[in-house]
């Protein structure tokens, strides 16, 4: 049996697929909401199993506070 056939039949493959899609979706949504075009493109193109997406969400893409009117 081919290695790829074994890998694609593994539950671990589907776990990482869902894991990556969830984090990528959250990070892309936050980047678009914050108007971070460069981050949006990087997150869309680079696949890091959620690592870059988690870094963006926790450190860089924190929700920007709007200035309070006086």
Domain membership flag for residue 32? yes
Q: Tally the domains of the chain.
A: 1
**Which pLDDT does position 9 carry in this prediction?**
85
Q: Is the pLDDT of residue 63 over 80?
A: no
Domain membership flag for residue 51? yes
Distances (CA, A) of 23 to 4, 11, 29, 67: 25, 19, 10, 29
Q: Is residue 23 a contact partner of residue 53, using CB atoms and an 8 Å limit?
A: yes
Q: What is the pTM of this model?
A: 0.75
Domain membership flag for residue 67? no
Domain membership flag for residue 7? no
Count of Cβ atoms closer than 10 Å to residue 42 Cβ: 14
**Which pLDDT does position 64 carry in this prediction?**
65
At residue 66 the predicted structure's pLDDT band, cuts being 50, 70 and 90, is low
Q: Which residue has the higher pLDDT, 62 or 27?
A: 27
Residue 17's Cβ-side half-sphere holds a number of Cα atoms within 13 Å equal to 8
18: containing domain: 12-60
Domain membership flag for residue 69? no
**Which pLDDT does position 18 carry in this prediction?**
93
Domain membership flag for residue 2? no
Domain membership flag for residue 34? yes
């Amino acid at each position: 049996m081919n290695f790829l056939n074994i890998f694609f039949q593994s539950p671990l493959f589907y776990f990482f697929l869902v894991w990556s899609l969830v984090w990528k979706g959250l990070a892309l949504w936050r980047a678009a909401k914050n108007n971070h075009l460069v981050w949006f493109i990087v997150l869309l193109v680079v696949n890091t199993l959620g690592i870059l997406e988690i870094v963006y969400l926790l450190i860089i893409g924190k929700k920007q506070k709007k200035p309070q009117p006086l």
